[in-house]
Amino acid sequence: MSQIIRFQDVSYSYAKGTPYEKKALENVSISVESCDFLGIYGLSGSGKSTLLRLAAGLIKPSSGQIEIGRSARVGLVFQFPENQLFGSTVLDDVMFGPLNMGLEKDKAREMAETALRQMGLGAEFYNRSPFSLSGGEKRRAAIAGILAMGTEVLAMDEPLAGLDPEGQESLCDILERLNEKGRTIIVVSHDSDVLGRRCRSAVVLENGRVSDCGSSGDVFSRNPGFAPLSFRVMEKVKAMGINL
């Protein structure tokens, strides 16, 4: 796999140069491989959301460099993205992004319908009001709006927040299928019990610095506090001499 995003000695401070300056990230160097499923973990205030915003180009680093693949588009899915739904119908809402990019209406509709199908929302949803959907359906419609803009990288901030267990598993299944078809997935989470089982790579942030990175299995072994419950149970069973 080739690198699609590369952070080199990246630091970021909020309110830089003022008495309220706060350093969010310091000397972060990580690489995101194309088609990876990367989990970013850390306690609240560790810099996870700031890292996503930098990757999506919403903010610029205070120092250091961020390199994005030449043709790569990074789509950022904020926490509770359904709060940004506004269209009169689901299809209108998802078409807004492609239309805003200057695409013709027919092409925008084609991209919106493809994105909705990828998120498990078929034609029976197209003419419904987005506000009539269930919580999980709203979340998927909002994500479809990002996919419809042709994003190769889906960067998601706490994508499972507020969903019931069934909704969490359903969304994770969809993300896994998108990843298998070539889309790079980056997820920020403080809870790895559901997402951690799907991610292949992991980064742990602590006080704005990278404290560990590598394959999920290796990172979880060194940082059991962030490991999924199933992983921690497996490690204890192995320690009892039972080979799994």
d(CA 121, CA 1): 31
Look at the pTM and tell me if it is higher than 0.85.
yes
Alpha carbon separation from 95 to 50, 52, 152 (Å, rounded):
28, 24, 18
Q: What is the pLDDT of residue 1?
A: 63
* pLDDT above 70: residue 196: yes
* pLDDT above 80: residue 232: no
Angular region, 45: left φ>0, alpha ψ -120 to 50, beta rest: left
pLDDT tens for 117-134 read 999 999 999 999 999 999
pLDDT tens for 59-98 read 999 999 999 988 789 999 999 999 999 999 999 999 999 9
